[in-house]
Structure 1
Amino acid sequence: METLDRLIWVVFPYLCMAIFVFGHIYRYRVDKFHWTAKSSEFIEKKQLMIGSLMFHLGIIPVIFGHIGGLAIPIAWMNAIGVNDHLYHIGAIYIGGIFGFMTLIGMIILTFRRFSLSSVRKLSSFSDLAVNSLLLFIVFVGMYATLVTNVVQPDFDYRMTISVWFRDLFLFRANPAIMADVPWSFKIHVLTGFAIFAFWPFTRLVHVWSVPLNYVGRSYILYRRHKPTN
């Protein structure tokens, strides 16, 4: 059992992170001209617009919430005046709102990709797999936040998952810390690492191609051309 726990909570996360890093390097070197997401907007636009908007508006605060909860120790939070009560209000209520937006967005996007034959034909296996996995991850995360936290109010992931997560990056991960973590949180963590392993080989690489230079780019000037006689 100890060996299995070490494989799950030490070897697997490091393997996923290694694939994430070296997979991106490999993908860029051999397939950089397909480093983008194939657009299906010309096939169907309404569901894509609604689902994509809700997903992106929700996922950005959710990501920052995860970073805050996992990377910042409780003592640091208390030092800036965020006690446990305030933190859990933000995590459950504010996090729940943005998590719900993310979930609805993923439901719309996944339903669109699977239900519309024209979009499905344009989709690769990895597209369908990533949509399904992301939907599952978000659903389990919402379940853990809104159900597990209510059923097991004494559980505090910042005392277990967060400590284990930070120790991963200090190369002293202790699988024993995860022993008493509820299954919903365990599944959410493991599938979260799994999506990082799939990331370099899917359309998710388009995240790194966001044209941020457009923000500071000069406007394009259009001048009327007066025909000469």
Structure 2
Amino acid sequence: MLPAETAPGSAVELSAPDILLWGALPYIMVVVLVGGLVWRYKYDQFGWTTRSSQLYESKLLRIASPLFHFGLLAVIAGHFFGLVIPKAWTEAVGMSQEFYHFNALLVGGIAGVGTLGGILLLIYRRRTTGPVFMATTKNDKTMYVVLTAAIVFGLWTTLASVFEGEHGHNYRDTVAPWFRSLFVFQPDITAMAAAPFSFHLHTLVGMALFVIWPFTRLVHAFTAPLHYLFRPYIVYRSRDRDRGGSAGAAAARTSGTAARRGWSAVGTRDRDTRNR
């Protein structure tokens, strides 16, 4: 055991499992995550997909998928705010701990319940829709179990830390410093070891999720079609029997204004096979 000071008047005994779990395992997780993604992209590009089952069933998917994905985006934003931004920064701008915990309960609770509801609907749809269930692999089942566990334990820690009030644990004094210390390769193992078991469990399940990430359909998160937001518009030309060309050109001649770019005649009329 290695004694270490975490706060004035308190000490935490560091054991070998503490050093392994909070000092070495995070970096092992990153190596597996990055290495697995590189391997998957190099040798299984055709498998880098969500394997969408929308053709089999769309009514439940239309509700469950947005609920899960938008809720997850809010959860990620909440983790960033709570783990990356130091407590001293929020206190410096006048945000009290009471106000912070109120927001954590309100926003985090809504996001967590929405995400949990979305994933449960997705699991229900996958289990009760025959073609969707037949397309479910063992990797999918493992992914759903770990992902759901991470959401449940995360919601548990959020609600517990808020409802316990002054007697509850403030993860911004333990988990958050440990998380930030990982990026400078000086893991604050003492801080993380002082956190309650519920936070340990949530963190371990979260790391397990990232370890299996490259080998599941979750890889599609790293190839989100963000370029769709910046791609040019698709111009559709209508069939027009007028000899002058497109409908836009005909409308321009009628109104006496210049034809808009992209709708001018190209010199070749569309073929109408019905009048052959």
Q: Does TM, normalized by the shorter one, top 0.5?
A: yes
Q: Output the CA distance in 2 between the equivalents of 1:185 and 1:114.
A: 31
- Where relative contact order (Cα < 8 A, 6+ residues apart) is larger, the structure is 1
Q: What amino acid is aligned across from residue 189 of structure 1 in structure 2? A: T
Q: Which residue of 1 aligns with 2:79?
A: 66
Q: Output the CA distance in 2 between the equivalents of 1:148 and 1:82.
A: 18
Q: Output the CA distance in 2 between the equivalents of 1:49 and 1:123.
A: 19
Q: Which residue of 2 aligns with 1:95?
A: 108
Instruction: Give the 3 Å change call, closer, same or farther, for CA 208–179 of structure 1 in structure 2.
Output: closer
Q: Output the CA distance in 1 between the equivalents of 2:197 and 2:57.
A: 38
Map Cα deviations across residues 44-67 of structure 1 (whole Å, 9 max, x no partner): 112222111111111111101101
- Answer whether contact 2:119 2:148 (CA < 8 A) is retained: yes
List gaps (5 residues or longer) in structure 2. Answer: 2-14, 242-270
Q: Which residue of 2 aligns with 1:117?
A: 130
The structure whose Rg is larger is 2
Q: Output the CA distance in 1 between the equivalents of 2:148 and 2:168.
A: 28
Cα deviation for residue 42 of structure 1 reads 1.1
- Answer whether contact 2:160 2:168 (CA < 8 A) is retained: no
Classify the secondary structure of the residue corresponding to 1:223: coil
- Which segment is superposed worse, 215-224 or 183-192? 215-224
- Answer whether contact 1:110 1:132 (CA < 8 A) is retained: no
- Answer whether contact 2:84 2:180 (CA < 8 A) is retained: yes
- Answer whether contact 1:113 1:120 (CA < 8 A) is retained: yes
Q: What amino acid is aligned across from residue 159 of structure 1 in structure 2? A: D
- Which segment is superposed worse, 171-180 or 186-195? 171-180
Map Cα deviations across residues 116-144 of structure 1 (whole Å, 9 max, x no partner): 33212101111111111111111111111
Classify the secondary structure of the residue corresponding to 1:34: coil
Structure 1 counterpart of 2:174, from 140, 145, 160: 160
Q: Output the CA distance in 1 between the equivalents of 2:236 and 2:40.
A: 39
Cα deviation for residue 164 of structure 1 reads 0.8
Map Cα deviations across residues 157-214 of structure 1 (whole Å, 9 max, x no partner): 0000001111111111132222332222111111111111111111111112211111
List gaps (5 residues or longer) in structure 1. Answer: none
Q: Output the CA distance in 2 between the equivalents of 1:21 and 1:203.
A: 15
1:100-179 correspondence runs (5 A): 100-151=113-164, 153-179=167-193
1:1-229 correspondence runs (5 A): 2-151=15-164, 153-225=167-239, 226=241
Classify the secondary structure of the residue corresponding to 1:32: coil
> Which structure has the highest helix share of the two?
1
Aligned length: 229
- Answer whether contact 1:114 1:128 (CA < 8 A) is retained: no
- Answer whether contact 1:110 1:135 (CA < 8 A) is retained: no
Q: Output the CA distance in 2 between the equivalents of 1:224 and 1:116.
A: 40
Q: Output the CA distance in 2 between the equivalents of 1:82 and 1:5.
A: 33
Q: Output the CA distance in 2 between the equivalents of 1:119 and 1:112.
A: 8
Q: Could you state the TM-score of these two structures normalised by the residue count of structure 2?
A: 0.78
Q: Output the CA distance in 2 between the equivalents of 1:88 and 1:224.
A: 57
Q: What RMSD, in angstroms, separates the aligned Cα atoms of the two structures?
A: 1.7
Q: What amino acid is aligned across from residue 103 of structure 1 in structure 2? A: L
Classify the secondary structure of the residue corresponding to 1:75: helix
- Answer whether contact 1:51 1:105 (CA < 8 A) is retained: yes
Classify the secondary structure of the residue corresponding to 2:60: helix
